[in-house]
Structure 1
Amino acid sequence: MNRIKIIILKLTPNFILRRFLPFLNRFKFLIETKNTQTPITFDMWYQQKVRKTTQNANWPIHQTSKVYKPENIKCGIETSPGYSPGNYIQAMGKITIGDYTQIAPNVGIITANHSLYDNREHIIKNVEIGRYCWIGMGAIILPGVILGDYTIVAAGAIVTKSFDNGFVVIGGNPARILKKLNKKECIFHKSEYEYIGYNKKEK
């Protein structure tokens, strides 16, 4: 949004914005994401896009989360890294996250670490997370990790290596396979309205 529009929005009382914005095509996400896994609320949008208290990404970010270099992140449908409180997403390298993957509070995902021999140097490796994954509270995913579809990461897990075949539950430090999932029982659900951040999938 340009500066003039932001000034107008700031000057307009919130009770008026809450009532009328959802009826404008540009703000349909306020209604159409309501029953999804990552509903976009008026307050979240207002804090991020009008008051500018969180990062300027194309998806909602909680005011207590930090997303570093969002331009290096590719999100899928209903996937918003930083949506939950206390997330730390560091995308010095590329991060790719598939459709319908959810990230719990206090999760860390990083793509760079310091060199063991020169802490001024960053060693950067991309991170890839598949579709329909669940990253549990307080889990940490380290640089270079690839997680396949339907990888469930237990709370507090430290993921140091890839599980690119997916369909597993992993946990511990370092993370290891705790259970293999039956692919036939895994549900690949879809929402009525499919949004990638603030935009409909087709856009």
Structure 2
Amino acid sequence: MKYYILQILSKIPVLKILVETRKSQTPVRLRHLLQYITKSKVYWPVHHSSLVSSPEKIVIGIDVSPGYMPGCYIQGGGGIVIGDYTQISCNVGIISRNHDVFDISRHVDTEFPSIKIGKYCWIGMNVTILPGVQIPDYCVIGAGAVVTKSVQKMGSVLVGNPAKVIKILDVDKVKDFKSEFEYVGFIPSASFEKYRKRELKL
């Protein structure tokens, strides 16, 4: 019965994504799709307990959904770029701009560059990433870490507050897995560049 339901859904263009992402790390559910169709500005699936601000300044990669897990705060005002297949756990904070220390009613936009997180990274539970941080490909950030400074080497493993590199992985051993159907949020990857130029400001 389930097979026939999937076959029917795959024939309906607007619902095809439900079938094609079901085996990905961030499968699109009907509730996500309804949220997007009803004019949500966030172009990827987000858990109802997570908060995303300024999504127009956030560029995500294939099969990446910051805030898909519960309790996340993704603050995009200063710009965030996340590479393909990076996994983000629960209660993660990615903070791309700070308040002005002399006037906390406003943010400082020019103090830091955009946050950049590479592809195939793994960001553990309760991690906080602060403005201007650059994280290269294949990095692992352990649960509870507070990343205050940029990381230099691919495959770095970070833990602690402030986060420090405790190990460098052999990136040649890391598996670059790919989804059968590639989506950037709700958008087929082949169409994303056109969407980015039209809708995003980063």
Task: State TM-score, norm by structure 1.
Answer: 0.84
Residues 1:109 and 2:97 are matched in the alignment: no
3-state SS of paired residue (1:202): helix
Q: Deviations over 1:6-63 (max 9, x none)?
A: xxxxxxxxxxx999554212321100101111111123323x23567xx531111111
Q: Based on CA coordinates, which of the two structures has the bigger radius of gyration?
A: 1
Matching of residue 82 in structure 1 with residue 67 in structure 2: yes
Q: Deviations over 1:124-182 (max 9, x none)?
A: 33100000001111100000000000111111100000014221110100000021100
Alpha-carbon shift at residue 186 of structure 1 (Å): 1.0
TM-score by structure 2 length? 0.84
Once the two structures are TM-superposed, the CA of residue 106 in structure 1 deviates from its matched residue by 0.5
Q: Is contact 1:18-1:42 (8 Å) kept? A: no
Quote the Cα distance in structure 2 between the aligned partners of 1:122 and 1:195. Answer: 32
CA distance in 2 between counterparts of 1:51 and 1:71 reads 17
Letter of the 2:187 partner, please give it. Answer: N
Q: CA deviation at 1:82?
A: 1.3
Query: Contact 2:43–2:185 (CA<8 Å) still a contact in 1?
Result: yes
Separation of aligned partners in 1, 2:82 and 2:38: 27
Percent identity reads 45
1:49 aligned to 2:32? Answer: no
Q: Is the 8 A contact 2:154 2:171 kept in 1?
A: no
1:93-172 alignment runs, 5 A limit = 93-124=78-109, 125=112, 126-172=114-160
Which residue, 27, 31, 41 being the options, matches 2:15? 27
Aligned residues: 184
Aligned: 1:60 with 2:48? no
Q: Say which SS state the counterpart of residue 166 (structure 2) adopts.
A: strand
Q: RMSD of aligned C-alpha atoms?
A: 2.0
Question: Which runs of 5 or more structure 2 residues have no equivalent in the other structure?
Answer: 192-202
Q: Which residue of 1 aligns with 2:195?
A: none
Structure 1 counterpart of 2:43, which letter? N
Q: Give the C-alpha shift of residue 190 in structure 1.
A: 1.1
CA distance in 1 between partners of 2:84 and 2:156 (Å) = 17
